[in-house]
Amino acid sequence: MSRGAILLDRDGTLIVERHYLSDPASVELETGAIEGLHKLTEAGWPLVVLTNQSGIGRGYFDRNAVDAVNTAVQEKLSLNGIFIAGWYVCPHEPEDGCACRKPLPGLALEAAEMLEIDLGASWMIGDKLSDVGLAQAIGARGILVQTGHTTFQDEGPARASGAWIASNLDEAADLILSEKPV
């Protein structure tokens, strides 16, 4: 039986934005990430990361570097009892025309199939309009967090798409948990 999940952007949402991050030693969790993810985990929500990593396609680093960064993130989360059920990476440049680069639904569809997720009962949290655009594309609810790349100009279009605005993952968790039980 499928159920909803919390779909998370990585850079600027889960971890502090570092331009084309490839060094696991530079991983720093965003303010409110531990608190918010702990609340969602305690409430029974599975957590899934969907991340665009065009640095692979641009030749800045390889998939092993991305996996090493993801492992470093998971290690920091694990120290707080938080587990990511799946990591899904788009390695393409924006110009490649792939189906997996957010806001297109490829990564979410792959996660839904692999993890038996009901996308319509899910939430997508990210710091870019492409993240809330993905939420709209898959019938999920979207939350734009004001960390990472978010600008004041993004908030109007995000709200127009039906997304909510939160200062960070902790506030996003509070919004989700006040909305409805899993």
**Of 11, 127, 131, 154, which residue is the catalytic one?**
11
Architecture of domain 7-95+106-117+133-138: 3-Layer(aba) Sandwich (3.40)
Is the bond into 105 cis (omega within 30 degrees of 0)?
no
pLDDT digits (tens, 9 = 90+) for 15-43: 999 989 999 999 999 999 999 999 999 99
Annotation says 154 is catalytic: no
Annotation says 67 is catalytic: no
Tokens of 122: 């899910």
Q: Is 66 a residue whose pLDDT tops 70?
A: yes
The fraction of the chain above a pLDDT of 90, given in percent, is 88
Residue spans of beta strands (DSSP E) within the chain: 6-8, 47-52, 86-90, 123-126, 141-145, 164-166
Question: Would you place residue 1 in the very low, low, confident or very high pLDDT band (cuts 50, 70, 90)?
Answer: low
What are the residue boundaries of the structural domains of the chain, listed by start? 7-95+106-117+133-138
